Amino acid sequence: MASRDAKGLILVADDGPATVEALRRELAPAGYRVFSAASVPDALKLLAATRFDVVIANVRLPGANDLELVRHVCENLDETEVVATTNYATVDGAVQAIKAGAFDYLVKPIAGDRLLAAVEGAIEALRLRKSAGRADPGKGSPGTYGLWGDSPAMQEVIRAIGKAASISATVLVSGESGTGKELVARAIHYGSARASAPFVAVNCGAIPETLLESELFGYVKGAFTGASETRAGFFQTADGGTIFLDEISETSPSMQVKLLRVLQEKEICMVGATRSRRVDVRVVTSTNRDPQTLVAKAVLREDLFYRLNVIAVAIPPLRERGDDILLLAHHFARKFAAEFGKAVPQLSEAALRALRAHTWPGNVRELENVIQRLVVMCEGGTIEVRDLPALMRFSALRESTVTRPLVEIELDYIRSVLSSVEGNRSQAARILGIDRKTLREKLKFH
C-alpha cells in the first residue's frame, strides 16, 4: 500500500511516456504522489492495491474499449475521481466522457495551470462527496447528544456538554440566534442525573415584563386582579429537574435581582405569598449576544452573570463549522422526506458547494428552513443549484465583487438576514445586533 502522506495520490493511465513524464513534472512539485500505468489491465491492478484520489485516464488506452477505464472507476470506486484526457478534441468526446462520470475533460498538450485546476477541483469534489456520504441514508447516525457535527468547534461544545451534565452547576449557553442553544440545554439535562425529571424551557423575551415574575414563580389566589386561583410557576413545574431561561438578557434589572436571590437561596416566593418555598432546580440560561459585552453595557448584572457563568458553553455560528453544513443538510433532507412521505433527494456537488459557501446569518434554523422548502418543492431526485434560494445562487458572485458601495453590501446582508428568519424583523434585529427601530430606519433609508 502506498503512503497517504502526500497531498493526494494520482494515477496517470496513459501509454505515452512523454505525457506521463510531463504530468509528473507538474504534479509532483505541487505535493502529489504520482503513479503510472500504460494499459487498462495495469491500471486495474494498481487500483486494486491502492486507493487513489484521482485517476488521469487517456480515453483511448490499450487493453479495453474507449472510456472503459473511466466507467470502471466511476461505477466501482466511490473514493476516486477521474479526469479524462485525449489527443483529439471533439464535442461528442467531451460529452461522452462527462456522461461516463469523468469530473473533467482535458485536451493534450495540457497546460500546467489547467491540469492543477482540474486535479484540485476533483479532490474538492471528492471531499464534498465524502462529507455528504457520512450523512447518506443508512451511513450516518446522530452525534453525541443528538448533535450533528464533526468540526473541532462542535466537538468542543460536546465536551463542554459532557462536563456540564456531570454536575448540577448553572450553565450559560451563548451563541447567535438559530445555533441550537435550547438543543444544547436539553442535551445537558437529558445527559444528567435529572433526566427523568421535567425540563422546562422559558423564552424570557416572549413574556411581557409585567407577567414574567408570576409566570416564573407562580402566584396565590387574590394576589392581583384576575388571580382567581393559586397557580404554580415554571420553577415549581421544573422542581427536581432543569429550567432553561432563554435570552436571559431580555429580563429587567429588577427581575435579575429576583433571579439572583433564587440562585443564592434556592428558594422562590410566589407573587402575593408571605413565605418562600424551597425548590431543587438546575438553571441553564442562554443569550444570543456576547455575555461580557452585556455586562459592560449594564444589560446583564455582573453579580448575576458570575452566578450563571459557572459553566460556559459557546456555540459556534454555522459559517464557522465547515463541513458540518453538509452533514446537517443531509440530516434535514432525510428528516423532512420522512415527514412528508417523499423519497430522500440527493444534493448535487454544485448545490453542496453553494450551501457550504453561504454565510448562514440564521444559522442551523435557517439551514433547516431552506432544506424543508427544498424537500417540499423538489420534483426530481436531485436538488441542483437552480433550486436554491437566489441569495445562495448568487452569493459567490456578489462576494467576489469588491467595487460595490458599502450601502449596497449592507442592504444585501439585511435582506439575507430577513430572508433567513422569514421576515421577522424583531429576530432579524437581534441577529444584526441592532434594535428594531434602527432596522426600520435602515430599511427606510435603503
Question: Does a structural domain hold residue 3?
Answer: no
- Residue 159 and residue 278 share a domain: yes
Quote the DSSP letter at residue 323. T
Contacts of 43 (CB under 8 A, 6+ apart): 11, 13, 37, 55, 57, 61, 69
Instruction: Look up residue 37 and give its three cell numbers.
Output: 500505468
- Residue 301 and residue 201 share a domain: yes
Question: Does a structural domain hold residue 216?
Answer: yes
Q: Under a CB-based contact definition with an 8 Å cutoff, are residues 54 and 10 in contact? A: yes
Question: Does a structural domain hold residue 23?
Answer: yes
Which residues lie across from 413 on neighbouring strands? Answer: none
- Residue 344 and residue 196 share a domain: no
CATH number for the domain spanning 439: value is 1.10.8.60
pLDDT of residue 397: 46
Query: pLDDT digit of tens for each residue in the chain (446 aa)?
Result: 455 556 889 999 999 999 999 999 999 999 999 999 999 989 999 988 888 999 999 988 887 777 888 888 888 887 889 999 988 767 677 778 777 888 888 888 888 888 998 898 888 777 766 665 544 433 434 556 678 888 888 989 999 999 999 999 999 999 999 999 999 999 999 889 998 899 999 999 899 988 999 999 999 998 888 888 989 999 999 999 999 999 999 999 999 999 999 999 999 999 999 899 999 999 999 999 999 999 999 999 999 999 999 999 999 999 999 889 998 999 899 889 988 888 999 888 888 888 988 889 999 999 999 999 999 998 888 998 889 887 777 654 444 444 556 776 777 778 777 776 767 888 788 778 788 888 888 887 76
pTM above threshold 0.75: no
pLDDT of residue 125: 76
The count of domains in the chain is: 3
CATH number for the domain spanning 212: value is 3.40.50.300
Closest CA to 215 of 147, 268, 166, 167: 268
CB-count exposure of residue 66 (10 Å: 0-12, 13-18, 19+): middle
pLDDT of residue 294: 93
Mean pLDDT rounded to a whole number for the chain: 86
Question: Does a structural domain hold residue 144?
Answer: no
Locate the DSSP E strands across 150-281.
171-174, 199-203, 242-246, 267-268, 277-278
Q: What is the 3-state secondary structure (H, E, C) of 94-147?
A: HHHHHHHCCCEEEECCCCHHHHHHHHHHHHHHHHHHHHHHCCCCCCCCCCHHHC
How far apart, in whole angstroms, are the C-alpha atoms of residue 174 and residue 95? 51
Q: Under a CB-based contact definition with an 8 Å cutoff, are residues 229 and 270 in contact? A: no
- Residue 213 and residue 278 share a domain: yes
pLDDT of residue 131: 60
Percent of residues, the chain, with pLDDT higher than 70: 90
- Residue 199 and residue 106 share a domain: no
Measured at the CA of 307, the angle between CA 301 and CA 309, to 5 degrees, comes to: 95
- Residue 196 and residue 121 share a domain: no
- Residue 126 and residue 13 share a domain: yes
| Of the residues 251, 283, 314, the one at which a domain ends | 314
- Residue 300 and residue 242 share a domain: yes
| Of the residues 249, 279, 314, the one at which a domain ends | 314
CATH number for the domain spanning 40: value is 3.40.50.2300
Residue 109: asked if its preceding bond is cis (omega within 30°), the reply is yes
Domain extent, residue 72, equals 8-133
Question: Does a structural domain hold residue 287?
Answer: yes
Instruction: Look up residue 15 and give its three cell numbers.
Output: 501509454
Closest CA to 42 of 78, 13, 75: 13
- Residue 161 and residue 245 share a domain: yes
- Residue 323 and residue 308 share a domain: no
pLDDT of residue 421: 72
pLDDT of residue 91: 67
pLDDT in tens, 143-174: 566 788 888 889 899 999 999 999 999 999 99
Instruction: Look up residue 78 and give its three cell numbers.
Output: 466511490
Question: Does a structural domain hold residue 82?
Answer: yes
Question: Does a structural domain hold residue 366?
Answer: yes
Question: Does a structural domain hold residue 98?
Answer: yes
- Residue 286 and residue 157 share a domain: yes
| Of the residues 262, 289, 314, the one at which a domain ends | 314
- Residue 225 and residue 209 share a domain: yes
